[in-house]
Amino acid sequence: MPEAFLELQNLKTHFPVERGLIFKKHIGTVKAVDGVSLSLKKGEILGLVGESGCGKSTLGRTILQLIPPTEGAVILAGQHLNRLPVGELRRARADFQMIFQDPYASLNPRMTVYDALAEAIRSHKEYANEEMPKRVSDLMKKVGLSPRFIKKYPHEFSGGQRQRIAIARALAVEPKLIIADEPVSALDVSIQAQIINLLAQLSREMHLTLIFISHDLSVVKHISDRIAVMYLGRIVELGPAAQVFERPLHPYTKALVSAVPIPDPVRERERQRVLLPGDPPSPMNPPSGCPFHPRCPYAIPRCAEVVPAFESLGDPTQAAACIRVKEINQAGFLAAKLP
Amino acid sequence: MRLMFAPPKIDMPLLQVQNLRTSFHTRNGIVRAVDDVSFQIEKGETLGIVGESGSGKSVTCYSILGLIPQPPGRIEGGKAIFNGGLDLLNCSSKELSKVRGRKIAMIFQDPMTSLNPYLKIEDQLIEPLLIHEKLEREEAVSRGIEALKEMGIQDAAARIKSYPHQFSGGMRQRVMIAMALITKPDLLIADEPTTALDVTVQAQILELIKKRQSELGMAVILVTHDLGIISGFCDRVNVMYAGRVVESATTPDLFYKTKHPYTKALQKSIPALQPKGAELYTIAGMPPDLSKEMGGCPFVPRCEFAKPECKNPVSLVEVEPNHLSACLRIQRGDLTL
């Protein structure tokens, strides 16, 4: 395996839950990210999926040092990000950028496109003022925006165009890693396709490492090289995108994949659904052992006792954190279970 | 004038909407949100309405139920005949109130904003029974508990005393559905009922609606932007674009014998139907500004098959049995998709 570009070692982000205004009482801990280890190659696109509250956004923000990790390490190109002094971290920030879900909220309404992009460029390198307009219009062309919009304000753009501005702003500092947190969730289908194409093309051309966070599995499958599935702060399955989607190992991934509606009436009506009972539990007091066991159709008493380690089946690139992974993926197991 | 005897014909559709026009009079001009929409739904049928934001799918439903704030909104014309009798668009608010919430119920996208945070679930849930069926409170409460149980809420007798914030998103949507179905309506209008929910919860909720639908024999209008949900849930589909229905067909026909370039473009741009990693098809340009008058087909500026004559007025015409399209070239038969 080539050297990892980004490495997460047993990363944990816990939030204390307190009650009271003056005499704060510690009443619990939300384990939003609870022991995530992962390594990414340069230029790789990782899709991070999971339901709301599973910690995927917190993981993204922790990697970018927007939230300090409680434990563990984030190593980007050999640098321990969470051990850097403030000044150096600030300089290192040019290497990693974020794109947010809501392009309406993430752009300053009082800044023109030029102001927003020029500010980002300046934060990284000083250029002569004469040079700036050219740099900004180059950036706009890169994301498919016509430079004649350079003096316009965010409200004059549609949602898709605003997301392009946000992407341009992220690219302004020539980053090596971009984390996109639900970048297409607020957009209509036809606009969604444009942004997905743009991100795929940019990551190819600029050799960007991209972490694509989304709850929409079909989008993630389309764009990613690998997929990591999160549940209650932990990664429960990791593997090549198509494989995780078509041959999921973990019971949660199986349920998740089967819950995604297929826009094809015949296939949609023929397939078997794994319906999960209940909602995801609160990350404040997660279940013991495997966090998924209370909703898992294959849970056995031991699942509540042991925290499962990653196990592979044949193919070492795909692994799932489930103690019964061998059993439940045996041929005929599912058929025998179903009535 | 209504006839004394209005014998409902046996094959009368449950709801027949004809030439509905709704517009909003704003400072920036008149926005024609729904522009001459006609469709019908039979008893027990599931009709999907699919379209992007601003296509008029929600406004259509709100118009039928008299939920459009007027002003700025205005129902410019049309009829919505319910059960062969009452015209929902041209009746008194008193008559409408008798139908709305009893014969026709509606659920909305966001269950948090459509439940009153100050009232216990109990009070909100049984309100339709107290108003429409004039039940005694005790009886209504027991029906309420029953309704929650049917929605798969455990410990319903205790949970009915809770407040909305004590429920999760999925649970709240269950409460909303229980509330909508408590009067056993003939028609349920569900406006993006699962958009705010996670996929696993979405699957549960859709399954529940389906189950209750077959138990009660009611018809459902499901408004969504997700072609995936349409494919598994609906019998018929209306595709809306710029306030008009551009294609209407049975679900399999819509997917496998598409008869409108816009529907085709939508299918081509969703990743789920494309080979992994392939460049996705993108629809050029943006949806039209509805405050501008559009003579011909509203999709012309973005359509890859457009011809000059597409600027002429076009209406929704049956191009194959039970399959309607508002594409001039399809109607003439010189375009196959």
pLDDT confidence of residue A339: 39
**DSSP letter at B115?**
S
Q: B201: which chain A residues are within 8 Å (Cβ-Cβ)?
A: 51, 279
Residue A325: strand, helix, or coil = helix
Phi/psi zone of residue A289: left (φ > 0), alpha (ψ -120 to 50 degrees), beta? left
- The tokens describing A24, both together, are 């704060």
* Portion 230-249 of A in contact with B at CB < 8 A: 241-242
Q: What angle do CA A242, A247, A249 make, to 5 degrees?
A: 120
pLDDT in tens, B260-270: 999 999 998 88
B84-113 confidence digits (pLDDT tens):
888 888 888 888 888 888 889 998 887 777
CB contact under 8 A, A263 and B168: no
Distance from CA of A63 to the nearest CA of B (A): 24
User: What's the rounded Cα separation, in Å, for the pair B319 and B328?
Assistant: 10
Residue B77 has pLDDT above 90, yes or no: no
Per residue in B180-233, pLDDT tens?
Answer: 888 889 999 999 888 877 888 888 888 888 988 988 889 999 999 889 899 988
Distance separating alpha carbons of residues A46 and B208, to the nearest angstrom: 34
A–B interface: beta-carbon pairs under 8 A: 119
**Rounded to 5 degrees, what angle do the CA atoms A162, A168, A169 make?**
90
pLDDT of residue A62: 93
Residues of A in contact with B171 (CB under 8 A): 279
Quick one: pLDDT at residue A20?
78
pLDDT value, residue B38: 92
> Using the 8-state DSSP alphabet, how is residue B322 labeled?
T
pLDDT at B316 over 80: yes
Residues of B with CB under 8 A from a CB of A: 52-53, 168-171, 198-204, 207, 225-232, 251-252, 255-256, 265-267, 269-274, 276-277, 279-283, 286
pLDDT of residue B151: 82
Alpha carbon distance B56, B24 (integer Å): 12
Closest C-alpha among B303, B284, B301, B283 to residue B292: B301
Contact status, residue B201 vs residue B170, Cβ threshold 8 Å: yes
Torsion of CA A13, A19, A20, A21, to 10 degrees: 30
Give how far A252 is from chain B: nearest CA, Å: 10
d(CA A236, CA A251): 9
ipTM, interface predicted TM-score of the complex: 0.78
- The mean pLDDT value of chain B amounts to 87
Cβ neighbours, 10 Å, residue A185: 14
Joined tokens for residue B235: 């019998």
Q: B75: which 2 tokens?
A: 């129902």
Output the tens digit of pLDDT for each of chain A's 339 residues.
457 899 999 999 998 888 877 777 887 888 889 889 999 999 999 999 988 888 888 999 999 999 999 999 999 988 898 888 988 888 888 889 999 888 778 889 999 999 999 998 888 777 778 888 888 998 898 888 888 888 999 888 888 888 999 999 999 988 999 999 988 887 888 788 888 999 998 888 889 999 999 988 888 999 999 999 999 999 999 999 999 988 999 999 999 888 888 888 888 888 877 788 777 777 777 888 898 998 888 888 999 998 898 888 888 899 999 998 888 887 666 555 543
The 10 Å Cβ neighbour count of residue A18 is 12
Cβ distance of B198 and A218 shorter than 8 Å: no
pLDDT at A158: 81
CA–CA separation, B48 vs B191, rounded Å? 10
pLDDT band at B248 (very low <50, low <70, confident <90, very high): very high
Chain A partners within 8 Å of B110 (Cβ):
none
Predicted confidence at residue B2, as pLDDT, reads 46
Taking the C-alpha atoms of residue A121 and residue B267, their distance in angstroms, rounded to an integer, is: 38
Grouping H, G, I as helix, E, B as strand and the rest as coil, residue A32 is: strand
CB-based contact, A194 to chain B, within 8 Å: yes
CA B161, distance to chain mean position in Å, is 31
Closest chain A residue to B264, measured at CA: A190
Q: Are B209 and B188 in contact (CB under 8 A)?
A: yes
Instruction: Look at residue B3 and tell me whether its pLDDT is greater than 70.
Output: no
Tens digits of residue pLDDT in B269-287 = 888 888 887 888 888 877 8
Q: How many CA atoms lie within 13 A of B272 on its CB side?
A: 20
Q: How far apart are CA B87 and CA B63, in angstroms?
A: 12
